[in-house]
A = this chain, B = another copy of it.
């Protein structure tokens, strides 16, 4: 019982632990693995073991998704978790794609401002319309 989990933070997770932390399902995580987005180590008995690094990568994937990037785009940004990292050409390719996406993020910021403005003015329009309707309440 005097194992290494008492004072330091936990650093290894099972698939369901990780799923719970990220609020997705284990099968979603397996699905991302099938797509080559993550590549966890395996236990002697072949069960998946996730590190904090794996988790950070997953978080990045989920963040990308929340901004409307597809899994394929994300794969191109961060590369397949395997084989990559040793081919210079592959790295250069990812770099270029990353640069593009980082630039897109600037545009997203501007667009986000527009979206907010749109929604606010829409809200305002509804409010004025509401006032109008209050003026002529329905019978009874």
A residues sitting closer than 8 Å to B (CB atoms) are: 59-60, 63-68, 77-78, 85-86, 88, 91-92, 94-95, 98-99, 101-102, 105, 108-109, 111-112, 114-116, 118-120, 122-123, 126-127, 129-130, 133-134
Residue of A86, A91, A108, A122 with most partner-chain B CB within 10 A: A122
A70 to chain B, nearest CB (A): 11
Main secondary structure of the interface of A (DSSP, over half): helix
Name 14 interchain pairs, CB-CB below 8 A, sorted by A.
Answer: A63-B114, A66-B111, A67-B68, A67-B111, A67-B112, A77-B119, A88-B133, A88-B134, A94-B126, A98-B122, A101-B119, A102-B119, A102-B120, A105-B119
